């Protein structure tokens, strides 16, 4: 700070010196003008004398002009009717000295004003710099609740506004980080809860097997099958959570394939064939076969499989799931409509939330399939919405923007 002040004072002194030099130059010019006026007047007198007194020589005139004897000029001039105020030479001399005084006074006054304004300006800048410095210190202490927005146009005002914008950005990031921490905490809690139930069942069944060495084979096989089923559920849960976590960390790289919708749906139907047979549900596809959209084939296969699985699980026995394919210049649309029990308004609002299980969900349901499907579709520049009414069925509408 001391070094900065020294620079400011040095700059101020330099500016004053420059201005004084310029003012001195102006004074010097004024003096030269005065000297030229006096010399011109003397020359005119000489010309008149030589004209009226042709016998006077140049040497005599030079002696008269160079005479440095002082006398009472005022008294001598009065003999010829010339007073002090009437003397042109004396008047020029007086005007010169007055001009010199005015110039010197002006130089001093302007320098004083300049120094005052200079220090006022730099005091204001120093206050702004101190304000920004203190603000940055507060930011370093993670205090983002301050405001230094400035409507000025100076360089420091621009810097101040940029710092303010940075603060707003940091504040938003801080708030988002807090939300992410809360979400992570909730996710860990949900995961713990999801894993706790099957693990508890496994432990109970294994304890029963260990505590009863004479248990009949049929019961023992029953327990072992249940353990196997629970392990499969845990494996599915872990795989799903790993996929979700990759999306949360934004490390999933999507390919841009030109996907034929009919081919994709046929592959999905193969994956859900067993589930479809168990629930005795038919699936009908309507629409043109040569409809495409751009996306990652592998991930879209999983997204649509999850949605159609959900439709199968909530369809009535002997029900029909209708799939309609449409396309226009803006988007490719896939509509999946089941004739199941539908869902309540509460379920409709929360259907895409992670780990949310609807009122009609099965015990094996984890509540993660539709959440993952939504993330995949949105990653491929798509939109998904759902409409449902109790006892009338549910309709999923997916739009892939072109």
Q: What's the pLDDT tens digit per position in 295-307?
A: 999 899 989 999 9
Q: How confident is the model at residue 121 (pLDDT cuts 50, 70, 90)?
A: confident
Cα separation, 342 vs 390, in Å, equals 4
Cα separation, 341 vs 360, in Å, equals 8
Which run of H or of E encompasses 258?
Answer: strand 257-260
Average pLDDT, the chain: 77
Q: Highest-confidence range of 62-66, 94-98, 165-169, 317-321, by mean pLDDT? A: 317-321
167-224 pLDDT, tens per residue? 777 777 777 777 767 766 666 666 676 677 778 888 888 888 888 888 888 888 888 8
* Whether the predicted pLDDT of 247 surpasses 70: yes
Cα separation, 334 vs 373, in Å, equals 14
69-78 pLDDT, tens per residue? 555 555 555 5
Task: Give the pLDDT confidence score for residue 392 in this predicted structure.
Answer: 85
Q: How confident is the model at residue 65 (pLDDT cuts 50, 70, 90)?
A: low
Q: Highest-confidence range of 188-202, 263-277, 358-372, by mean pLDDT? A: 263-277
3-state DSSP: the chain helix, strand, coil percent, rounded to 5? 65, 10, 25
Q: Are 306 and 373 a contacting pair, CB within 8 Å?
A: yes
Rounded-to-10 torsion of CA 27, 28, 30, 35: 140
Rounded-to-10 torsion of CA 175, 181, 184, 189: -120
Helix axes 58-65, 2-52, angle to 10 degrees: 140
Nearest to residue 303, comparing CAs of 379, 390, 208? 379
Task: Give the pLDDT confidence score for residue 45 in this predicted structure.
Answer: 72
* Whether the predicted pLDDT of 343 surpasses 70: yes
Q: Which domains does the chain have, with CATH numbers?
A: 2-140 (no CATH), 174-248 (1.10.287.130), 257-401 (3.30.565.10)
Cα separation, 376 vs 370, in Å, equals 10
Nearest to residue 252, comparing CAs of 291, 178, 303, 292? 303
């Amino acid at each position: 700070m001391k070094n900065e002040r020294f620079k400011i004072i040095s700059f101020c002194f330099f500016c004053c010196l420059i201005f004084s030099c310029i003012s001195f130059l102006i004074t010097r010019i004024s003096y030269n003008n005065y000297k030229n006026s006096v010399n011109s007047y003397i020359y005119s007198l000489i010309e008149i004398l030589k004209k009226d007194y042709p016998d006077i020589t140049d040497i005599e005139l030079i002696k008269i002009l160079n005479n440095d004897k002082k006398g009472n000029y005022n008294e001598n001039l009065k003999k010829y009717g010339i007073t002090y105020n009437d003397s042109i030479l004396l008047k020029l001399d007086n005007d010169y000295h007055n001009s010199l005084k005015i110039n010197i006074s002006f130089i001093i006054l302007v320098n004083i004003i300049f120094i005052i304004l200079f220090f006022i300006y730099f005091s204001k800048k120093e206050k702004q710099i101190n304000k920004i410095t203190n603000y940055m210190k507060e930011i370093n202490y993670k205090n983002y609740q301050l405001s230094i927005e400035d409507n000025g146009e100076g360089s420091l005002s621009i810097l101040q506004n940029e710092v303010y914008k940075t603060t707003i950005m940091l504040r938003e990031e801080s708030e988002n980080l807090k939300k992410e921490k809360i979400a992570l905490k909730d996710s860990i809690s949900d995961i713990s809860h999801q894993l706790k139930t099957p693990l508890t069942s496994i432990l109970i069944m294994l304890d029963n097997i260990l505590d009863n060495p004479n248990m009949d084979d049929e019961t023992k096989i029953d327990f072992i099958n249940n353990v196997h089923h629970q392990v499969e559920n845990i494996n599915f849960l872990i795989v799903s959570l790993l996929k979700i976590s990759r999306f949360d960390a934004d490390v999933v790289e999507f390919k841009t394939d030109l996907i034929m919708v009919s081919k994709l749906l046929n592959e999905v139907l193969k994956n859900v064939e067993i589930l479809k047979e168990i629930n005795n549900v038919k699936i009908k596809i309507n629409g043109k076969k040569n409809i495409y959209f751009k996306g990652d084939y592998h991930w879209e296969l999983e997204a649509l499989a999850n949605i159609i699985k959900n439709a199968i699980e909530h369809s009535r026995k002997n029900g029909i799931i209708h799939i309609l394919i449409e396309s226009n210049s803006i988007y490719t649309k896939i509509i999946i409509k089941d004739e199941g029990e539908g869902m309540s308004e509460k379920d409709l609002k929360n259907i895409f939330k992670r780990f949310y299980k609807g009122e009609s969900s099965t015990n094996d349901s984890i509540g993660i399939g539709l959440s993952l499907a939504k993330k995949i579709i949105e990653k491929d520049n798509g939109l998904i919405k759902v409409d449902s009414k109790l006892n009338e069925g549910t309709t999923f509408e997916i739009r892939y923007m072109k």
